[in-house]
Amino acid sequence: MKPKITIYIPCHNYGRYLREAVNSVIAQISSDWELIVISDGSTDDSLAIAREYAAQDPERIRAFEHPEALGLQASANRALEASRGDYIMRLDADDYLDESACLVMAEYLDRHPDIGLVYPNYIYVDEAGSVLGIEARKKVGADAKLLDLPAHGACTMVRKRVLKAIGGYSEKYKAQDGHELWLKVLHRYQIANVNTPLFYYRQHSLSLSTDHSRLLTARAQIKRDLVESRKGQVTPRTLAVIPAKNTYAKLPNVVLNPIAGKPLIDYTIEAASQVAALDAILVTTDDPAIAEHCDALPHDIQTQLRPQSLSEERVHLSQVVANSLEYMEQKRDFHADIVLVLSVHSPLRRTAHIQKAIDTLILYNTDSVISVYEDSDSLFRHGTYGLEPLNPGMHNQLRLEREALYVDNGAIKAMWRDVVTPTDISGRKVGHIVMTFWDSWQIKEPNDIWLVEQLVDRAQETI
């Protein structure tokens, strides 16, 4: 009999958790499911456990083996090819389902034929299964109108025909947490969530989600590839504006001072010059020496000596950007569609970060994009009875979405040209890209110079 739901469990050496995952499927209130367990290059007892369950219920449970580890995407595609259900859902081998998970999500898709993907809240547990907290996702269309926070890759139920229509999963990415699926589905189908915790998400030292830098790199590549695949005959004209004020009392001549043997501004210019999507780069400065330096560089750079009044203490960045756009439009006859503002004080921001900001602006329905780092410390504000936590989940080392706190690192701001006014460059809908804390470091004080030099030297050693 054809099942409605296909659940698949990819497993790489998680045999110690696998029984709990499989048993949570067997215990589902809804019995209209099949289970595919894939031992992906496991060297422990994962395959033996999978075959044991398949022997007990061969009509509903199948065990597959990859003699060598092929990765999550290859396992997902194999499950998709073998699936007999109308809906398909991944369950990670170290997680497990609430008994009503299949019933609730399948019924939601049954009642909403226009929805291509549905995802639930979830419960964090530790390695032993003790509850740590609940992730209450923002409600699509109510709490979240800008859908730039993808669902968790696991326990998201998708119509199989939707997955087939988008071509399954790309196997080129070494780490991805549902980001590719989200972006590919988002622009073609409607998405929804149910505000009920329906699976248990185990937190431990080997979780893929703990490898933050690896995830950020994979997400950037996913966005890059998707933008390239959709590129048409006409593309947005993109301008990078580099404000280069050089009259700070505490940091004299900071823009041209050498950082690890190279003028500070050169880091930003070199990173921007390697972004293929940029059509023009403008350095706007109050110092003729900077314009002279930039003119001598082997890069195609426009320079603008802006009025000294735009370097005064209380001048807003939006005024500088609006003035630069007026200069480019009136003096250079260059009319940008997308504008990037790149801080000269962020030498650790790389080409990939700039490209990611452009791709994010294009992929999401957003007015602007800012670069941030996530502050995962326990933060407080003063309340009625003294200090109250802003992110109480961090007491249990949980990075809850509703409590996530992001710091504008100032490195990159990207916006559509029609958003920019002398008083605002953000608009209403503000997206973001996440950079690591160390990549976000800015030179704001004299002591920052020494630290940034150490970080630059360390980055060069790893190349």
Q: In terms of Cα–Cα distance, which of 112, 295, 108, 64 is closest to 198?
A: 108
Residues 6+ apart with CB under 8 A from 253: 246
Residue 442 CB partners (closer than 8 Å, separation 6+)? 343, 345, 346, 409, 410, 411, 448
Mean per-residue pLDDT for 48-65? Answer: 97
Helical axes 212-229 vs 351-363, angle rounded to 10°: 60
- Identify the structural domains of the chain with CATH numbers, from first to last: 5-229 (3.90.550.10), 238-461 (3.90.550.10)
441-463 per-position pLDDT tens digit: 999 999 999 999 998 887 766 54
- Whether 52 has a pLDDT exceeding 90, the answer reads yes
pLDDT confidence bin for 174, thresholds 50/70/90: low
Q: For residues 200 and 96, what is the distance between their CA atoms, to the nearest angstrom? A: 5
- Nearest by Cα to 178 from 271, 206, 376, 186: 186
118 DSSP 8-state letter = E
Strands 87-90 and 157-159: antiparallel
Closest by Cα among 320, 261, 273 to 299: 273
Q: Confidence band (pLDDT; 50, 70, 90) for 398? A: confident
> In a 10 Å sphere around its CB, with 0-12 CB exposed, 13-18 middle and 19+ buried, how is residue 223 labelled?
buried
Per-residue model confidence as pLDDT tens digits over 213-247: 777 787 777 788 777 777 777 889 999 999 999 99
pLDDT band for position 178 (cuts 50, 70, 90): confident
pLDDT value at residue 86: 97
- Over residues 398-421, mean pLDDT: 91
- Tell me what pLDDT residue 58 has: 96
Backbone angles phi, psi at 321, to 5 degrees: -65, -45
- The 10s digit of each residue's pLDDT in 275-287 is 999 999 999 999 9
- Exposure letters 49-60 (e unless 16+ CB within 10 A, then b): bbbebbeeeeeb
Going from the C-alpha of 145 to that of each of 141, 149, 191, 223, 416, the distances in angstroms are 5, 10, 11, 20, 19
Q: What is the pLDDT of residues 295-340, one digit of tens each?
A: 999 888 999 999 999 999 899 999 999 999 999 999 999 999 999 9
- Dihedral (CA of 197, 198, 203, 206) sign: negative
Tens-digit pLDDT profile for residues 244-273: 999 988 899 999 999 999 999 999 999 999
pLDDT more than 90, % of the chain = 68
CA distances from residue 13 to 39, 59, 69, 272, 373 in whole angstroms, order as listed: 8, 25, 10, 43, 33
Distance CA 282, CA 310 (A): 16
> Do the beta carbons of residue 138 and residue 401 sit within 8 Å?
yes
Mean per-residue pLDDT, 392-396:
78
Decide: helix, strand or coil at residue 240.
strand
Calculate mean pLDDT across residues 164-193.
82
Q: What was the pLDDT predicted at 209?
A: 46
- pLDDT at 294 (0 to 100): 95
pLDDT at 120 over 50: yes
**What count of residues does the chain have?**
463
Secondary element (H or E) of residue 283: strand 280-285
Average pLDDT, the chain: 91
Rounded to an integer, the average pLDDT of 369-388 is 91
Where does the pLDDT of residue 148 fall: very low under 50, low under 70, confident under 90, or very high at 90 and above?
confident
pLDDT at 208 over 50: no
pLDDT mean over 86-97: 97
The SS3 assignment for 368 reads strand
pLDDT at res. 207: 53
Q: Poorest-confidence range of 155-164, 224-233, 238-247, 347-356?
A: 224-233
The pLDDT tens digits of the residues spanning 128-141 come to 889 999 988 878 77
Question: How does DSSP classify residue 234?
Answer: -
Q: Using the 8-state DSSP alphabet, how is residue 250 labeled?
A: S
Category of 71 on φ-ψ map: left (φ > 0), alpha (ψ -120 to 50) or beta = left
- The 8-class DSSP code of residue 151 comes to P
Q: What is the CA radius of gyration of the chain?
A: 25
Structure tokens at 203: 């937190």
Give the whole-angstrom CA distance, residue 291 versus residue 285.
7
Using DSSP's 3-state secondary structure scheme, residue 48 falls into: helix
How far apart, in whole angstroms, are the C-alpha atoms of residue 154 and residue 140? Answer: 18
Exposed/middle/buried for 205, CB within 10 Å: 0-12, 13-18, 19+?
A: exposed
What tokens does 88 get?
């398909």
The answer on pLDDT for 370 being more than 90 is yes
Sign of the C-alpha dihedral, residues 90, 92, 98, 99? positive
